[in-house]
Amino acid sequence: MSEENTIKSPCTGDCKYNEDHNCVSCNRSMYEIVNWIDFTDEKKITVLKHI
């Protein structure tokens, strides 16, 4: 990874999923949760704006 990842996860540690497979605590999709660590800061900011 060429870019330093400095954006913290919005995870609350209270993972519960709705019928659309989105976490009702942090509002991220399963894809976003699983791949968060590999996202660039730019992608993380995009996710945070969306949620």
For residue 33, is it within any domain? yes
* Domain-embedded: residue 3: no
Look at residue 21 and tell me if it is in a domain.
yes
- Is 28 a member of any domain? yes
What is the model's pLDDT at position 45? 97
Domain presence at residue 39 = yes
- Per the structure, how many domains does the chain have? 1
pLDDT one-digit tens code per residue, 9-26: 999 999 999 999 999 999
- Is the residue at 36 inside a domain? yes
HEC profile for 1-51? Answer: CCCCCCCCCCCCCCCCECCCCEECCCCCEHHHHHHHHHCCHHHHHHHHHHC
Per-residue pLDDT at 2 exceeds 50: no
Is 49 within a domain?
Answer: yes
Note down the domain range covering 29: 14-51
| Residue 29, domain member (yes or no) | yes
